[in-house]
Amino acid sequence: MPFLKTLTGNKYRNIYSFLLVAGLAIGGFFWPVLGMGILGLMVTALVLNFRKRRSFCAGVCPNGNFLAASLKGISARRRVPRAFVDVRLRSMLCGLMLFCLIGLISRGFPDASVMGRAFWIVYIIALSAGILIGILYKPRAWCVVCPLGTLQDTIGDAASKKTAKLPDQD
């Protein structure tokens, strides 16, 4: 496959990312229960975040690896707008996507196929946005506003505040 020859970085990680993203995006259309794999990715990201902040994003995230490898040659390579880095925008996007996801899941609970379709729909929206933003700016520009990354930051901030030593605790 010519596409696989253009992959950069860790060859096997990029192949895994491509197959996982394609499997979820295409397979989820035909077999909605595959969308539950997104839940697995979300849980993995949150668990790894307790070990090291954003370690999922840096090395495990199939979407980031897929975008970096597949958009390398077609990305405009422009600087990401400052608005994308704004915590308020990122928090609003994360909240909106979680709100939509919870709304879709609640309609089909406990049917795994319906819940999988809900995860798949949100995944396709995020993947499409990631591809568009990656073409317009840098391949991994989506990573800046990714709702899962924002959720990891939020949980990481809360955990560090909870364990931080207060000045009067000598």
Q: Write out pLDDT tens, residues 136-155.
A: 999 999 999 999 999 898 88
Residue 40 counted as domain residue: yes
Number of compact structural domains in the chain: 1
pLDDT at 8 over 60: no
Give the confidence band of 169 by pLDDT, cuts at 50, 70, 90.
very low
Helical ranges in the chain per DSSP H: 2-5, 11-22, 28-30, 36-51, 55, 62-70, 82-85, 87-108, 112-136, 142-145, 147-163
pLDDT top residue among 79 and 59:
79
Domain range for 77: 9-153
Q: What is the pLDDT of residues 44-64, one digit of tens each?
A: 999 988 888 888 888 889 999
Domain-located, residue 132: yes
Domain contains 125: yes
What's phi and psi for 72, nearest 5 deg? -55, -45
Specify if 84 maps to a domain. Answer: yes
| Sequence-separated (6 or more) residues with CB below 8 Å from residue 130 | 63, 67, 141, 142, 146
Is residue 168 domain-resident?
no
Residue 86 lies in a domain: yes
Instruction: Tell whether omega for the bond before 62 is within 30 degrees of 0, i.e. cis.
Output: no
Q: Can you tell me the distance from the alpha carbon of 168 to that of 21, in angstroms, rounded to the nearest whole number?
A: 49
Position 1 in a domain: no
Q: At what angle do helices 36-51 and 147-163 cross, to 10 degrees?
A: 30
Query: Per the domain annotation, does 164 fall within a domain?
Result: no
Residue 66 has pLDDT above 60, yes or no: yes
